[in-house]
Homo-oligomer: A and B are copies of this chain.
């Protein structure tokens, strides 16, 4: 074990698009756990659109600011425990931030049972999988035969939502950027159709893919795509509001037209959610996800980048839509 702890700080909050120049690397001394604390080493750090949203202002957490350690969730391994119930080798999922080592208060941690490969704890059995599971089933309330549309459909959450929709007997349409992603969705992952939002005429393509309208729209992106879906919803349709990645990275904030007019006349339901609200039910969900993975009904796509120093580049690329499936950085 080295006796230094590499950290990546936010050098500057971006005014427009996030770039790698908004981060800087620093070296701190190895932290020492006190009574009731754990020293952990980050193994895999999760990259999420939310990382960027946290820079915009307070959300469900306080806003990030310049000079601060970049925040982020990670799968981490206990190196030293000064708390009962934890031993070296145990795994935890924690907001360690972007650093190689962290000291965490043990009372806020829950041990994560190891699986093979370990990276699945950040994708299908982690926040991405649980977000897809609870958001789609609890907020989307799908019924067999429903037409389900999911945006950012090749992303960490969308790629799971679409497959759960297929498992539940829905007709599934993914919206993604580029022909390669669209082909993956329809040829390998069981989506019935895919719409390439970069190909132009989104509204027309969406109408063609959903001639009878949309029953459930799982929204990861907000903006133009949310608006296009809103205008194509069926009466009594449901929109699960998961995120708004189109709005996070320096886009001029824009309003959504058709609200509340279309909500009223079509009697739509829009439900926002955060996965943490479903924490108590996570074991049941993970069991379901495991069964689907083991039966081959749910395919897991991960985009693993090696090297702690690549975190800034990995986040910038995620916001540009580089990844297919869950992106993470393997630190160790």
Give chain A's interface residues, CB within 8 Å of chain B: 53, 59-60, 219, 222, 226-227, 241-244, 247, 253-257, 259-274, 277
- Would you list 6 pairs from A and B whose C-beta atoms are within 8 A, ordered by A residue? A241-B260, A243-B264, A244-B260, A260-B272, A267-B272, A269-B269
Question: Given contacts A255-B254, A255-B255, A270-B270, are A59 and B265 in contact (CB under 8 A)?
Answer: yes
Contact B222 A260 (CB under 8 A): yes
How far does the Cβ of A270 sit from chain B's closest Cβ, in whole Å?
Answer: 4
Contact A266 B257 (CB under 8 A): no
How many subunits of this chain does the assembly comprise? 2
Contact B265 A257 (CB under 8 A): no
Question: Given contacts A254-B255, A255-B254, A255-B255, are A270 and B265 in contact (CB under 8 A)?
Answer: no
How far does the Cβ of A241 sit from chain B's closest Cβ, in whole Å?
Answer: 4
- Further contacts, 13 of them, CB under 8 A, given A241-B264, A256-B259, A270-B270: A243-B264, A244-B264, A255-B259, A256-B256, A259-B270, A264-B274, A265-B274, A266-B272, A267-B271, A267-B272, A267-B277, A268-B271, A269-B271
Contact A260 B60 (CB under 8 A): no
**A264: nearest chain-B partner, CB-CB:** B272
Cα–Cα, bound, A15→B138 (Å) = 43
Q: List residues of chain B with CB within 8 A of the CB of A254.
A: 255, 257
Contact B261 A270 (CB under 8 A): no
How far does the Cβ of A246 sit from chain B's closest Cβ, in whole Å?
Answer: 10
Contact B260 A219 (CB under 8 A): yes
Cα–Cα, bound, A53→B273 (Å) = 32
Q: List residues of chain B with CB within 8 A of the CB of A271.
A: 263, 267-270
Contact A273 B277 (CB under 8 A): no
